[in-house]
Amino acid sequence: MNSRTRPPQKSAVRTNTGLSTASTDTASSDSFLRPNQPTRSSSRNSAVSDNSELIALSPLTANQDSGFLVAHAPPRQGSTHSGVSTLGNSSFNSQARLLDPNASAQSAKVNLGSNDSSAVFGVTPDQIHDMIDPKSPEKLSAFGGIRGIISRLRSNETTGLSDKEHLHAGGWESQVASSTATEFRHTEPVTFKVTDDVGVVVEHLVISTETTVKVPTPSIHSTKGETEYFAERIRFFGDNSLPEPTSRSLWDFAKEALKDRTLIILLIAAFAEIAIGIYKTVFAEEKDPYGFIDGLAIVIAVVVIVLISSVNDYRKQAQFHKLSSFSSSLSRVQVTRSGETIQIKTAELLVGDILHIQAGDVLPADGLVVQAFNISTDESAMTGEAVTLTKDTETDPFLFSGTKVVNGVGKMVVIATGRNSMNGRLMAALDAEEPEPTPLQGKLGKLADLIAKFGTVIAVGMLVALGILYAIFHRNDGKGAVKIANDIINLFIIAITLVVVAVPEGLPLAVTISLAHATLKMLKDNNLVRHLKACETMGNATTICSDKTGTLTQNKMTVVVGVLACRPFGAENLSNNSHEEVVLIDLLTKRSSDKAIKSTAVSSSLSEAFSNLPTAVLNHIALSINVNSTAEEVATDAAEKAAAVAAQTESIGKKSSKEQDGKRATEFIGSKTEVALLEFTNKLGRSYQQDRQNSQVLEVIPFSSDRKRMSTIIKIPENQHDAALERYLSLAHADSTASETKWLFCKGAAELVVKLCDRYVDGEGKVMPLSDAVRPEFEATIETMASCALRTICVAFKAVESCPQTVSNAAEADVDAPSDDANLILACVVGIKDPIRPEVPAAVADCMRAGVVVRMVTGDNMTTARSIAKNAGILSSGDAIGEYTVMDGPTFRKLSPEMMDTVLPQLRVLARSSPLDKQILVNNLKRLGETVAVTGDGTNDAPALKSADVGFSMGIAGTEMAKEASDIILLDDNFASLTKAIIWGRSVYDSVRKFLQFQLTVNIVAVVVTVVSSSLTAIFSEDKIPLSVLNAVQLLWVNLIMDTFAALALATDPPTPELLNRPPARKSDPLINYDMWKMVLGQAVFQILVCLGLYCGKVSWVDGGMDVLLGNTYTDSYLKMGTLVFNTFVFCQLFNEVNCRVIGKDLNIFNNISKNPLFAVIVSGSVVVQVVIVQFGGIVFHTVSLDAMDWLLCIGVSFLTIPLGAVIRLLPDYFRRD
């Protein structure tokens, strides 16, 4: 809300010797600068530094030839009245001192063309920081108060920054006279440095004159992609980009991966083996040229594992940073520039901007209050103290970035942005925060720890047992200590490798990969995930508590029907498709001389409907709407607007201008209800801008969920009065004269505001008593409008003699001040249509199919809420509505805990609810074991958003406080997008379980085959050396396949609509269900039998059969057998990876496989690498080349995992318990 004041009247007199300017304020006697302050002379000896006090000069004198200018600042009008705080009476604007005109006139120069920014701006970022940290009213006063700071920043409290700043400073209006000189006409105060003849700074000047002077045009170049208009300002004060927390480098992630104790032990053993291998190669009697290969291969494998792990973590960090940057780019603010209210990105905010603020905002920069209507802030983010502080121009004008506006509306001048702001300096000192593990990551972490402990016990037991067997059966063949040491190290390496394989490090990685993939994909579905846990939790949500406006509806509100001064209008706008609309049409069109609501015709033309209504009456009713509103029409860049629409589906409160090819477009922003009302008065031919300019706002009582209405008290200048206003005053029994009367305008929920009215404006413009005989007519109209799914708003007014008392000026307020809760005059009742989004009924049906209960929580009355719920599909039109299906907020919040347990299972619609009701609903649903998702857009919704398992805020209509409290931001405010979040959440949950099912199978098979084969060779081999058929390098390759590659393949499967065909998982459900255990154990048993069968069986194409096992190790026959086992084991995993794409009894394991190209790439790449390893990696992996029959055996046996999976899915569930 803006307080409009007339600018001071000025006069300029030209003299022969220069310019003499006097300034007179005809609107207020309260002077911005006090002329009776002591004077002080200006000279070289009294030179002041950059942090000197703001100096105001007595009447300006200037020598046109020399370019010397001196001036004084004019008085300015201001007010502080009943919660309204402006600059005129501020104590921070009365501290400036006068400069001796005699000294200044001869020695001062204004440095207009200097390239030194300190000569252009009268204050530095460091000086500003010293003033606000800590808060220093004294330093603020030394700068000339708030207005002094504004002048030093070359801004203006009314018009803001100028988009022609590259041509002039502050309030200088310019016309380019030539390529080298610019002609300036000065209209507002501006501060410059003043120097004497030798360039010594002597004072800072406030120049205020209406004259023309030519000065060189400064050369300012564009920086950082910004337009050249503000390049110098950005260079000096910086932009509004906050420092990003320090990101971790790829090397940092690599070092962290290398801290794994298991890998460290494995590397130590590998280096020991390398040392022994080098000894055997160089010094041993029997040279072994490849003795060091095994150890080197292990080192290389560990390096590859660390590198891939580090790259994955680094990419994950980059993806989450991308999401964070996108979230920041969504924020928009309103500022005044060149006298025009515009909307810009938060990152484009500049020092000197006049920023519009309101309840729910998180301040994007530091500033000083310029105008305040009951503003209070929460500075706990800075101070740690959860105390609400009142802000105004009198006592505490300091506002800090990162703090929250809890109440009120107003404006502030931005004094520090980005890295120079309080929040920026704080963030610069912080390191990047590690995200907290999600619930699923926590579960998998515990499971991984349990498996790791189990694997470690087995590895240690195997090491001890094989060591004992080696000591018992080993024959000393005379090869000495080196051979024994090498055997022991090999045994140690196998045990450590077994631990590496057994530890399912890929489980948390799978969650991270799946979440990173899902959150980026969800962005395309208009879901911006702020907290990762919300993504997975949403998949198992059991109930959604949804707002109505903008979420279920289109948030495109239009006044379609109503009664204005007892003149009905708009019946033809109803579709006449329902019984309720037919009743409303009949009610509006019936005529009766003894009824209050009457009309000769219901016309589509507003001009016809109100043709007989006095213009003054119609204008006064429009005034009551236009002034009592926070919505505004702002200018936006047309190209940027188009891009925003493309990115976000819908724009805020659209009202496009008719400029198709122009640079500017306009739109209404603010409450959609208020936007609809402003557009309605526009159709009545009334300009809201003109009404606000002609009115002085004295008090604003913002809309609240408790009051369900908004009120504004204004004073109309005497020259705006007419006969109609005089008549209203007399009928309102006002004792004061017209020039002294104040008006209170009120709008809000119709059925509530009507109860506060005792008079109404009739069809002839007369104010009549609202008797008991007339009141039911209005109430019936409101009820019928509501039954047509229309939001009903009542507009009323009355004359008051004084403003209500407030905390800020209670001592000065008039006693017995009337309140706004009684004796109102009813002006009009309107029905506002907000159509249901076309996709909402289908989305609600999808939720019900998925076992998710949808509840609507709205501030509308019960009749409107019930009608909209039926249209949205939340309530079935044909079904009878139960006793507790629809309930209002006041009744709901009074329920006892026992009654609450009875009501909640039936409750579907909560009408006339407050944010507190929503929080009560969420908390009680959670108490009953529900997983609750809730939507919210207002500041007061923050507690409910925090309390819910998943909080959704609105990206378009939501306040910054609501967004900060939420887990996911709906970029298009659409309920259908929320349904997509359910699908993605279930996809993440299933992806992790798919990987878990796959990895458990690999772990079991690898451990069993390694232990059994090592034990057999230790007992039965000729030289009694324990040797696993799967050596360390092979196991590390398997570990790479099953950890990183499988996680990437299985965790990136796209979601399918079929995910909604099942109910959500309960919180008590185990992570590994019966179907998963059945698949894991079935596949593990099959693979173990195949691998050990190949290892122990007498196979014709392996020379020697069992003799291979009992003969010398690493013979050609043994290597071939080992290669068969290794190759078959790997291909079993690759086929099982395909098999694990499906969890449950679905037999189509190839469903949507073409939609995940990454899966095909990873599996195909693994096959290629495996072929290369087998055919060409003999030295490193201890393999031999296989012929066609060998490959046929390996692939044929491995492929059996696919049909086996189908058989396992079809097995009866004899032992199912879940």
**SS3 (DSSP) at 201:** strand
Q: How many CA atoms lie within 13 A of 772 on its CB side?
A: 0
Q: Pseudo-torsion of CA 994, 1000, 1006, 1011, nearest 10°?
A: -170
CB 598 within 8 A of CB 763: yes
Which of 251-260, 274-283, 945-954 is the most confident on average?
945-954
Considering the domain architecture, whether residues 1065 and 1085 belong to the same structural domain is answered as yes
DSSP state of 16: S
DSSP state of 251: H
Considering the domain architecture, whether residues 58 and 189 belong to the same structural domain is answered as yes
Task: State the catalytic residue, choosing from 239, 547, 937, 1043.
Answer: 547
Place of tokens 């119709």: 750
Task: For the chain, give the percent of residues with pLDDT over 70.
Answer: 67
Window from 160-169, 299-308, 656-665 with minimum mean pLDDT = 656-665
Confidence of residue 33 (pLDDT cuts 50, 70, 90): very low
* pLDDT top residue among 472 and 63: 472
Window from 225-229, 455-459, 704-708 with minimum mean pLDDT = 225-229
Sign of the alpha-carbon torsion through 1042, 1048, 1051, 1056:
negative
Among 584, 863, 883, 619, which residue's Cα sits nearest to residue 749?
Answer: 863
Alpha carbons 1121 and 1183: distance in angstroms, whole number: 9
The pLDDT assigned to 1138 comes to 93
Buried b (16+ CB within 10 A) or exposed e, 592-619: eeeebbbbeebbeebeebbeebbebbbb
The pLDDT assigned to 206 comes to 44
For 480-485, the CB contacts below 8 A with 24+ separation are: 482/276, 482/279, 482/280, 482/284, 485/276
Tokens of 6: 């007339």
Window from 229-243, 518-532, 548-562, 591-605 with minimum mean pLDDT = 591-605
Window from 354-368, 673-687, 833-847, 1018-1032 with minimum mean pLDDT = 1018-1032
Reported as a single tens digit per residue, the pLDDT across 777-789 is 899 889 888 888 8
The overall longest dimension of the chain from CA atoms, in Å, is: 126
First to last CA, the chain: 59
The pLDDT assigned to 802 comes to 66
Considering the domain architecture, whether residues 205 and 136 belong to the same structural domain is answered as yes
The pLDDT assigned to 854 comes to 95
Report the DSSP pairing between strands 543-546 and 853-857: parallel
Asked whether residue 319 is domain-assigned, the answer is: no
Q: How many Cβ atoms are within 10 Å of 169's Cβ, its own excluded?
A: 23
Sign of the alpha-carbon torsion through 396, 400, 403, 409:
positive
Which of 337-346, 485-494, 921-930, 1022-1031 is the most confident on average?
921-930
Among 821, 823, 767, 824, which residue's Cα sits nearest to residue 795?
Answer: 824
**In 1097-1152, alpha helices (H):** 1106-1110, 1116-1139
Considering the domain architecture, whether residues 218 and 101 belong to the same structural domain is answered as yes
Tokens of 130: 């010293």
Alpha carbons 1015 and 1027: distance in angstroms, whole number: 8
If one counts the domains in the chain, the total is: 4
Window from 265-274, 470-479, 799-808 with minimum mean pLDDT = 799-808
CB 103 within 8 A of CB 393: no
Asked whether residue 172 is domain-assigned, the answer is: yes
Report the DSSP pairing between strands 968-970 and 709-715: unpaired
Alpha carbons 792 and 939: distance in angstroms, whole number: 23
The pLDDT assigned to 356 comes to 93
The pLDDT assigned to 986 comes to 92
The pLDDT assigned to 649 comes to 35
- Domain with residue 715: its CATH number is 3.40.1110.10
Residue type, 173: E
The pLDDT assigned to 404 comes to 87
Reported as a single tens digit per residue, the pLDDT across 644-683 is 444 443 333 334 333 444 445 667 888 889 999 999 988 8
Among 888, 1183, 1105, 1084, which residue's Cα sits nearest to residue 297?
Answer: 1183
The torsion region of residue 526 among left (phi > 0), alpha (psi -120 to 50) and beta comes to left
Strand partners, 848: none
Considering the domain architecture, whether residues 68 and 90 belong to the same structural domain is answered as yes
Window from 215-224, 1120-1129, 1145-1154, 1164-1173 with minimum mean pLDDT = 215-224
* pLDDT top residue among 1023 and 835: 835
Q: How many CA atoms lie within 13 A of 957 on its CB side?
A: 25
For all residues of the chain together, what is the average pLDDT? Answer: 74
Q: How many Cβ atoms are within 10 Å of 151's Cβ, its own excluded?
A: 31
Tokens of 15: 């003299």
Considering the domain architecture, whether residues 548 and 569 belong to the same structural domain is answered as no
- Domain with residue 913: its CATH number is 3.40.50.1000
Q: Read off the pLDDT of each residue in 393-401 and give the average, rounded to a whole number.
A: 91
Please work out, in degrees rounded to the nearest 5, the angle formed at the alpha carbon of residue 906 by the alpha carbons of 905 and 908.
Answer: 110
Residue 872's domain comprises: 527-554+837-973
pLDDT at 871 over 80: yes
CB 1071 within 8 A of CB 996: yes
Strand partners, 712: 700, 745
Considering the domain architecture, whether residues 675 and 821 belong to the same structural domain is answered as yes
- List, as one string, the DSSP characters of 1011-1055: HHHHHHHHHHSTT-----SS-HHHHHHHHHIIIIIHHHHHTTPPP
Asked whether residue 487 is domain-assigned, the answer is: yes
CB 628 within 8 A of CB 746: yes
pLDDT at 178 over 90: no
Asked whether residue 343 is domain-assigned, the answer is: no
Among 672, 678, 620, which residue's Cα sits nearest to residue 796?
Answer: 620
For 124-127, the CB contacts below 8 A with 24+ separation are: 124/50, 125/236, 125/237, 125/238, 125/416, 125/420, 127/50, 127/51
- pTM beyond cutoff 0.75: no
Alpha carbons 282 and 731: distance in angstroms, whole number: 115
Backbone angles phi, psi at 634, to 5 degrees: -120, 160
CB 93 within 8 A of CB 147: yes
Asked whether residue 424 is domain-assigned, the answer is: no
Considering the domain architecture, whether residues 547 and 475 belong to the same structural domain is answered as no
Report the DSSP pairing between strands 757-761 and 632-637: unpaired
- Domain with residue 304: its CATH number is 1.20.1110.10
Alpha carbons 563 and 566: distance in angstroms, whole number: 5
Domain boundary among 833, 858, 879: 833
Confidence of residue 824 (pLDDT cuts 50, 70, 90): very high
Reported as a single tens digit per residue, the pLDDT across 78-136 is 444 455 666 655 555 543 333 333 333 333 333 333 345 555 788 999 999 999 988 99
The pLDDT assigned to 949 comes to 92
Q: What is the 3-state secondary structure (H, E, C) of 141-153?
A: HHCCHHHHHHHHC
Considering the domain architecture, whether residues 545 and 597 belong to the same structural domain is answered as no
Domain boundary among 795, 817, 833: 833
Alpha carbons 109 and 205: distance in angstroms, whole number: 10
**SS3 (DSSP) at 395:** coil
* pLDDT top residue among 744 and 730: 744
pLDDT at 842 over 70: yes
Alpha carbons 869 and 867: distance in angstroms, whole number: 5
Asked whether residue 395 is domain-assigned, the answer is: no
Asked whether residue 825 is domain-assigned, the answer is: yes
The pLDDT assigned to 651 comes to 33
The torsion region of residue 981 among left (phi > 0), alpha (psi -120 to 50) and beta comes to alpha
Query: What separation in angstroms does the CA of 412 have from each of 4, 514, 982?
Result: 16, 44, 41
Asked whether residue 335 is domain-assigned, the answer is: no
Considering the domain architecture, whether residues 152 and 190 belong to the same structural domain is answered as yes
Q: Read off the pLDDT of each residue in 710-735 and give the average, rounded to a whole number.
A: 61
The pLDDT assigned to 1191 comes to 94
Task: For the chain, give the percent of residues with pLDDT over 90.
Answer: 23
The torsion region of residue 1194 among left (phi > 0), alpha (psi -120 to 50) and beta comes to alpha
State yes or no: is 196 an active-site residue.
no
Domain boundary among 788, 803, 833: 833
Which of 268-282, 512-526, 748-762 is the most confident on average?
748-762
Confidence of residue 186 (pLDDT cuts 50, 70, 90): very low
The pLDDT assigned to 764 comes to 79
Among 1056, 1059, 974, 852, which residue's Cα sits nearest to residue 527?
Answer: 974
Alpha carbons 724 and 345: distance in angstroms, whole number: 45
CB 983 within 8 A of CB 1057: yes
Considering the domain architecture, whether residues 514 and 501 belong to the same structural domain is answered as yes
**In 153-292, alpha helices (H):** 231-237, 250-257, 261-282
DSSP state of 805: P
Considering the domain architecture, whether residues 99 and 211 belong to the same structural domain is answered as yes
Alpha carbons 223 and 468: distance in angstroms, whole number: 75
